[in-house]
């Protein structure tokens, strides 16, 4: 795992920051919890990659607040340079 930040999806409407922090703190130190209002996902940042991996392995697919949550490594919101289409260069001689 490259990141300490985890994506947490399929969250119930009543899941709070405190509930997420409590759930993930069983697997290490939680540094940050973010969640957009009216969304079914959030992000949890752990203090180390090994703690993030441990939390992901333990919690992915588990029932939390009546829903099977999805826990995975968070992806960067920036486009990867290799995914940006390139224009062909000028024709050679």
Q: What is the pLDDT of residues 32-79, one digit of tens each?
A: 999 988 899 999 999 999 999 999 999 999 999 999 999 999 998 765
Q: Domains of the chain (ranges plus CATH)?
A: 5-75 (3.30.70.330)
3-state SS class at 60: coil
Give residue 71's pLDDT.
Answer: 98
pTM, to two decimals: 0.79
CA distance 63 to 34: 20
Provide the 8-state DSSP code for 83: G
CA angle 35, 36, 38 (to 5 degrees): 120
């Amino acid at each position: 795992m490259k990141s300490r930040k985890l994506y947490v999806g399929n969250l119930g409407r009543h899941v709070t920051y405190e509930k997420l922090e409590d759930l993930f703190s069983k697997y290490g130190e939680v540094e940050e919890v973010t969640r957009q209002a009216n969304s079914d996902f959030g992000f949890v940042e752990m203090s180390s990659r090994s703690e993030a991996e441990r939390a992901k392995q333990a919690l992915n697919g588990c029932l939390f607040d009546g829903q099977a949550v999805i826990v995975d490594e968070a992806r960067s919101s920036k486009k990867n340079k290799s995914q940006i289409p390139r224009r062909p260069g000028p024709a050679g001689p």
